[in-house]
Amino acid sequence: MDLGEVNHQRIKTNGIWLHVVEKGSGPLVLLLHGFPEFWYSWRHQITFLANHGYHVVAPDLRGYGDSDSPLSPSSYSVLHLAGDLVGLLDYFGEQQAFVVGHDWGSTVSWHLSLFRPDRVKGLVAISVPYFPRDPVAKAIESFRGRFGDGFYISQFQEPGRAERAFARYDYLTVMKKFLLINKNDLLIAPGGMEIIDHLQTPAVLPPWITEEELQVYADKFEESGFTGALNYYRAMDLNWELSAPWQGAKVTVPTKYIVGDKDIGFDAYGIREYVQGDTFKGLVPEVEVVILEGHHFIHEERAHEVSQEILTFLQKLSVEYLYRQLPCQENNEKSAVF
C-alpha cells in the first residue's frame, strides 16, 4: 500500500526514545499497535484519517520497531506505557488526543484513559476490551490455573523461552503464524508443545495482506527481535500490583469498542457475552460496541470499515464538543449585552 509522504522522527519521552510516524494536520489521533506489530499495522488508517483532517501519530511502542527497548520486563508496566504517551502529547503541545488501540495497544489505551482521562478526548479500542482488576489473584496465576502451561501467555513468561522457540523458524514464517491466525478459540498448545509450533502456517494468503507486507513485518522484527514485545506479557503481574489504587474504577471517557466476531476467544472465552452485557457497560459507561465480521487483526482485514468506524466516532465527538460550547458562547454574548 502506498502511504504517500509521512514524517518519521524519534521523540524523547519518559526517559526513552520513541520512533513515530505522523501525517496530516488537525486534532491529534494516536494509533497504538499490538503484538506482534509496529506502526506499520496502521498503514490503512494513517492516510485515511489524515485525509479527513486529523494529525495522525503512530508510534512504535517501547520495545518495538525503531523505538528503545529496555532490557528489564519491569520497564514495561502500564504506568511506563501510559507515561510514554503523556510525553508524546506534551511534545506535540496537546492537552488531549483521540486514542485508538489494537490488542496490547488497546490495553495501553484503556489504562491511559483510566489513569489520565483528562488527556483523552475519546477512545477506540479494538479487539481487547477493558477487564476489571481481579482483587485477589494475579494475572499469571489465574491464567496458569485456568489454562495451564500450554496457554501462550503462560509460555511467554520465562525469559528466553519463546525467543528460542520462535528462532526455529524464519521471521516471515513467525509473522504468518501470528498475523494470519484464523482460529477463534484460545491459543493453547497441547502438552509438551510450544505455541509457535502449534500455530499453523497458511498455505494461501488471505486477500487483505500481501507477501510483501508480511515481509515488512518480518524485516523489522529481524532487526529488533521479540524480547521487547514479549516483555509486555512478562510485566502482567507487575501491572496487577501497580494498578491496585484503581481497583473498581471506571473508564469514563467516551469509547467505541470494535471486535471481530471470529476474534481469538470471542466466543470460547465469553467475550461476546461480556461486551454485550451489563458488566462491561457498568465499567465503561460511555461505550458503544461494534461487532464486525472478521478475526483478530480486524483493522487490517476489514481496513476500510474499521477506518470508517473510527472516523464517524471522532466526528461525532467533535460535533458534540462544539455543541457543548454553544450555550457558553450564547451566555457570554448575553452577559456582554447586559
- Residue 296 is among the residues annotated as catalytic for this protein: yes
- List 23's β-bridge partners, or say none: 56
Residue 144: phi and psi, rounded to 5, are -65, -40
**Angle at the Cα of 237 from the Cα atoms of 149 and 230, rounded to 5 degrees:** 65
147/123 Cα distance (integer angstroms): 31
- For 261, the grid coordinates are 466476531
- For 198, the grid coordinates are 502449534
| Catalytic member of 19, 295, 296, 299 | 296
| Catalytic member of 76, 233, 257, 299 | 233
Q: What is the dihedral of CA 221, 214, 165, 128, to 10 degrees?
A: 90
Residue 180: phi and psi, rounded to 5, are -105, 20
| Catalytic member of 103, 232, 257, 263 | 103
286/123 Cα distance (integer angstroms): 10
- Residue 233 is among the residues annotated as catalytic for this protein: yes
User: Which SS3 state, helix, strand or coil, does residue 309 take?
Assistant: helix
Residues marked active site are found at: 103, 233, 296
